[in-house]
Structure 1
Amino acid sequence: MNLGKTYLQVVSSRFNAMKKQGDQTINRLSEEEIHWTYNDVSNSVAVIVKHLNGNMISRWTNMLHSDGEKPHRNRDREFEDDIGSKQELIFAWEKGWETLFATLDSLKEDDLLKSIYIRGEEHTVLDAIERQMAHYASHVGQIIYIGKQLLGDGWESLSIPKGKSQEYLDEMLKKHNNEKRS
């Protein structure tokens, strides 16, 4: 087993799972709901997606050879809600993730300990990946939370529904035992 290769596979799987939860939530929201905010200091789903897009494109483009904070990025503008439609939001969402996955898929185990820079601060590639994992997880969590607030009783769980933990565990153990016998 190769640790570096395994790590890259695991982290790719985790980013994919995170994206899937965001996809599922965004797909459930209407044109109006993507712009909803709780108050004036809160971000809408549209703003969060716009920020993720800007961050992903900046961090993952030419990751090994240029600072992760690209000169063309205007982070402050990412927090202006000027996304015109849900289609535009989905385009920005997909473009950010495509940039991330293209770079992640190109990385080799030897790259993980290379030094790169984000805003002039040195990181290993491994540390930069973990930094982005934490950052994106917090924002996807915000998107999910907003979706739950807006959809209320109409919300369908993205994981194990409340009150169904034991049922889910029993089902997984049964499945695992059946696979062992096969």
Structure 2
Amino acid sequence: MDISNELIESMLVKFKSERKWTLQAIQQLSEEDITWAPNSVSNSIANLVAHIRGCGHSRIETIFLNIPDTRDRDKEFEHGLIMTKEQAFNKTKEAFDIIILFLEHLKINPKLLLSQPSLNLPPLTYSQVNNETTILNLMIAMVREIHYHTGQIIYIAKIRKGQLVWQYNEN
């Protein structure tokens, strides 16, 4: 048994599950639900989706795909951020697709887990990791952070809708 492949496969299962439940929750919401926040200092689903998409951009697209960093992290958390239900669904799907595609790439190249791809980049713009971090550390941080925020999305959806309907046989 190769621990690298087991770890990557575990992360893939986790992210695919998070994508499934988050997209199902968003589908059951109204346009108003996407921008609703419990209070003036809490995030809306729009904020959380923007942040999840921003994480995928800065932690995978910028570092591994050399796509210029256009992330505005502060805007992700602006109170009153406007986003349609369709945009929330699509941005969530995009974020998870980026993460899952990258993990599929790691399955083929598991030795990359210990590489440090940010060593020669400008300082990273988020505090959880620094330029000396390994891909393994970066992906573990993403598992934690994405799970945290998808949990918030589902909790807000339940506050707004009460009981949600889950389709267990969908991918």
Letter in 2 for 1:73: R
TM-score of the two chains, using structure 1 as the length reference: 0.76
Match of 1:124 among 134, 144, 160: 134
Distance in 2 of aligned mates of 1:149 and 1:54? 25
Counterpart of 1:114 in structure 2 is 115
Written as runs of structure 1 = structure 2, the 5 A alignment for 1:27-176 is 27-64=27-64, 71-80=69-78, 81-107=80-106, 108-117=109-118, 118-119=124-125, 120-152=130-162, 154-156=163-165
- Tell which has more relative contact order, 1 or 2 (C-alpha 8 A, sep 6+): 2
Residue 28 of structure 1, CA deviation? 1.3
Higher Rg: 1
Structure 2 spans left out of the alignment, 5+ residues: 119-123
The DSSP-based 3-state class of the residue aligned with 1:149 is helix
What is the Cα-based RMSD across aligned positions, in Å? 2.3
Distance in 1 of aligned mates of 2:154 and 2:137? 26
1:88-139 CA distance string (max 9 Å, x none):
1112111211221222211211101111334443211111100011010110
Distance in 1 of aligned mates of 2:51 and 2:111? 30
Deviates more, 1:84-93 or 1:28-37: 84-93
Structure 1 spans left out of the alignment, 5+ residues: 160-182
Distance in 2 of aligned mates of 1:131 and 1:86? 27
In 2, are the aligned partners of 1:57 and 1:100 still within 8 Å (CA)?
no
Distance in 2 of aligned mates of 1:130 and 1:155? 29
Letter in 2 for 1:113: L
Moved over 4 A (4+): 156-159
Counterpart of 2:121 in structure 1 is none
- Kindly, what percent of the aligned residue pairs are identical? 29
In 2, are the aligned partners of 1:33 and 1:150 still within 8 Å (CA)?
yes
In 1, are the aligned partners of 2:116 and 2:131 still within 8 Å (CA)?
no
Residue 54 of structure 1, CA deviation? 1.2
Larger proportion of strand: 1
TM-score of the two chains, using structure 2 as the length reference: 0.81
Residue 7 of structure 1, CA deviation? 1.4
Between the two proteins, the alignment pairs up a number of residues equal to 156
1:121-169 CA distance string (max 9 Å, x none):
32111111000110101100100111111112x334789xxxxxxxxxx
Letter in 1 for 2:152: Q
